Amino acid sequence: MISLHGTVSVGNFLRRFSLEVGNETVGVFGANGIGKTSLLRTVAGLCPLGEGELHVNGVVVDAPAKHQFVQPELRNIGMVFQDHSLFPFMTALDNAAFPLVMRGMKRSTARKMANEMMEQFDVVHVAEQLAPTLSGGQSQRVAIVRALVGAPQAVLLDEPLSAIDEESREGVRNLIREHLDRLKVSAVVVSHDRADLDHLCTRIENYTR
Amino acid sequence: MNQVSSRTPRFVRMGALIGVLFLALPIVGLLKRVAWSTLWTQLTDVATRDALRISLYASVCATLLALVLGLPLAWCLARMQFAGRRFVRALVLLPMVLPPVVGGVALLGAYGKTRGLLGGVLDSLFGVQLTYSLSGVIIAETFVALPFLVLALEGGLRSIDTKYEEAAAVMGAKDLTRFMRVTLPLLKPSLVAGLMLAWARALGEFGATITFAGNIQSRTQTAPLAVYTMLESNPEGAYALSFLLVAICVGVLVGLRDRWIGGASQ
């Protein structure tokens, strides 16, 4: 459950967000530069609210009026960043296993678990390559694994299919859906591709202005 | 190759050649004066050996101390907005432009046993005397080396894209973990370059050391001080030790060549 009502300053102007997400996958659709990414960053805790309130699974995580703010590292959110943000000094596998290790799992167990999921996403053959040597599509798949591999309380996907080529798009889309069904958490997908959202989401919100 | 920018005028090439000669000539001159047949005997002489030992030990300690003091400083300068930031920055850079002898005099004013601000307290409470001691050598070398490390680290921290640290935070990495597992690996090229510069500066320190820690053979006499002292009494030894210092520095430069020094500036 995500409930966000409030304003965030995006660049030089204020953007008002109003979003309710149950145990479903909500798509946010709209042109570039209207703050879709900021919406996700606010939920993740990287862009604090100026005013308003944000609840995740019934817990107040950001409420400036009440001086409440839960740091991003304590929110347990799985997120695919628009530019993937894989750590350049780590292999694909270590990138994918990172959230598991951070939640206290032994490195070898975490690598095994991440490896299984990388197999599903068809990137197991590049597991031992350093992140900067991956192609755009491979890097995005690893980023998706990284976001879904733990047991996140909410999932945020920022243009998760932008670098995946047309032929494999449907497969990756279905895999993401399967995992979101398995996790049974609130998910928000941001995209400017209507078809991707139609396939991934239970509901779509149109962002204009 | 016909672009305007890649056509180098003759006078520029001449100027560059003169520059190279200016830098190379002293090294050639130094090598010419080294008495190769007695080199080993000179280098294994007690005074020389002690000076080398003190130099290596003190310069490594000073570099580590500079790291402990410099990393938090660089962090705050690069990533915090606070009142007096410009003042702190100027203070950090001061030892870099200050004549080293003046640095030594200033250190006496702070840690001198009888007249220093803190020297008396250190002596009466802990029985620690920094002046004319090996610890004094380390303090003096740290004082002059610190700015180099802070500058390199501050630049490095500024150039790191914060998106990686943000991603790590979202994945559950807390402050210290985030620093150790994400910031530090990203900072590595600047860190290595900074440590190198600081260490080289510490190894070559002369003015602040002789003023603050003195020139006591086998106690505070570092290799540069030994070279200076021997130049009068035993020039052969002075040239031998100088040659060794050049060799160490060239060795370090070659060893770290493209891996870090080039990588850090790119």
- Which ipTM did the prediction report? 0.94
CB distance B171–A98 less than 8 Å?
yes
Q: Within a 13 Å sphere around the CA of B134, how many CA atoms are in the beta-carbon half?
A: 14
Is there a contact between B170 and A89 if contact means CB atoms under 8 Å apart? no
Question: Which amino acid is present at B257?
Answer: R
Q: Report the half-sphere exposure of B54 (CA within 13 A, side-chain side).
A: 29
Enumerate the residues of chain B whose CB falls inside 8 A of the CB of residue A103. 172
In chain B the domains, ranked by start, together with CATH numbers, are 58-221 (1.10.3720.10)
pLDDT surpassing 50 at residue B265 = no
User: B113 or B133: whose pLDDT is higher?
Assistant: B133
Q: In what side-by-side order are the strands of the sheet with A51-56?
A: A13-21, A2-10, A51-56, A59-63, A68-69
pLDDT of A55: 96
pLDDT of residue B208: 96
Q: How confident is the model at residue B124 (pLDDT cuts 50, 70, 90)?
A: confident
* Contact check, Cβ <8 Å, A85/B164: yes
Instruction: Evaluate whether A91 touches A168 at the Cβ level (below 8 Å).
Output: no
Query: In chain B, pLDDT over 70 holds for what percent of residues?
Result: 95
| Domain limits, chain A | 1-75+184-209
| Mean pLDDT within B46-51 | 92
- Residue A164 has a pLDDT of 94
| Predicted confidence (pLDDT) per residue in A17-67, tens digit | 999 999 999 999 887 777 889 999 999 999 999 999 999 999 999 999 999
Mean pLDDT of the region B69-75 = 96
With CA atoms as reference, the chain A residue closest to B164 would be A85
Q: How many CB pairs under 8 A join A and B?
A: 54
CB contact under 8 A, A71 and B169: yes
Which of B160, B170, B176 to mutate against chain A (most A CBs within 10 Å)? B170
Could you write out the DSSP letters of every residue in B28-77?
HHHHHH--GGGHHHHHTSHHHHHHHHHHHHHHHHHHHHHHHHHHHHHHHH
**Burial of residue B108 (number of CB atoms within 10 Å: 0-12, 13-18, 19+):** buried
Give the confidence band of B258 by pLDDT, cuts at 50, 70, 90: low
Position B264 pLDDT exceeds 50: no
Radius of gyration of chain A (CA): 17
Q: Do B172 and A81 touch (CB under 8 A)?
A: no
**Dihedral, CA atoms, B51, B52, B54, B57, nearest 10 degrees?**
170
3-state secondary structure at position A19: strand
* pTM (2 d.p.): 0.86
Task: Give the right CATH number for A1-75+184-209 from 3.40.980.10, 1.10.460.10, 3.40.50.300, 3.30.457.10.
Answer: 3.40.50.300
- Test A46 with B168 for CB contact under 8 angstroms: no
Shortest CA gap A84–chain B (Å): 9
d(CA B249, CA B78): 30
Nearest to B247 by CA among B34, B105, B71, B57: B34
| Confidence (pLDDT) at A14 | 87
Q: A87 and B174 in contact by Cβ < 8 A?
A: no
What was the pLDDT predicted at B171? 96
Find where tokens 């500058």 sit: B151
Is the pLDDT reported for residue B263 higher than 70?
Answer: no
Mean pLDDT of the region A66-91: 96
Does B32 have pLDDT greater than 60?
Answer: yes
The confidence score (pLDDT) of residue A26 equals: 95
CA nearest to B174 within chain A: A73
Asked whether the beta carbons of residue B169 and residue A98 sit closer than 8 angstroms, the reply is: no
Instruction: Identify the closest residue of chain A to B185 by CA–CA distance.
Output: A89
Confidence at residue B126, expressed as pLDDT on a 0 to 100 scale: 84
User: pLDDT tens across A176-190, in order?
Assistant: 999 999 999 999 999
pLDDT-derived band of residue A207, with 50, 70 and 90 as boundaries?
confident
Quick check: B168 and A98 in contact, CB under 8 A? yes
Contact state of A81 with B167 under an 8 Å Cβ cutoff: yes
Helices vs strands, H then E, count in chain B: 14, 0
Residues of A in contact with B180 (CB under 8 A): none
- What is the average pLDDT across B120-148? 91
When pLDDT is averaged across residues B243-258 and rounded to a whole number, the result is 83
| pLDDT tens-place string over residues A98-134 | 999 999 999 999 999 999 999 999 999 999 999 999 9
pLDDT tens-place string over residues A161-174: 999 999 999 999 99
Mutation target to probe the B interface, by most B beta carbons within 10 A, among A37, A87, A107, A158 is: A87
Q: Which of B171, B178, B181 to mutate to test the interface with A (most CBs of A within 10 A)?
A: B171
Token digits for A58?
């019934």
Give the pLDDT of residue A15. Answer: 87
Contact A85 B163 (CB under 8 A): yes
Question: Which residues on chain B place their C-beta less than 8 Å from a C-beta of chain A?
Answer: 163-164, 166-174, 177-178, 182, 185-186, 188
Distance CA B206, CA B161 (A): 39
- pLDDT tens for A126-145 read 999 999 999 999 999 999 99
Chain B nearest C-alpha distance from A17 (Å)? 21
Cβ B173–A75 below 8 Å, yes or no? no
CB-nearest partner of A72 from B170, B185, B188: B170
Mean pLDDT of B156-184: 95
Cβ contact A72–B169 (<8 Å): yes
**In this predicted structure, what is the pLDDT of residue B259?**
54
Q: Is the pLDDT of residue B261 over 80?
A: no
Mean pLDDT of all residues belonging to chain A: 93
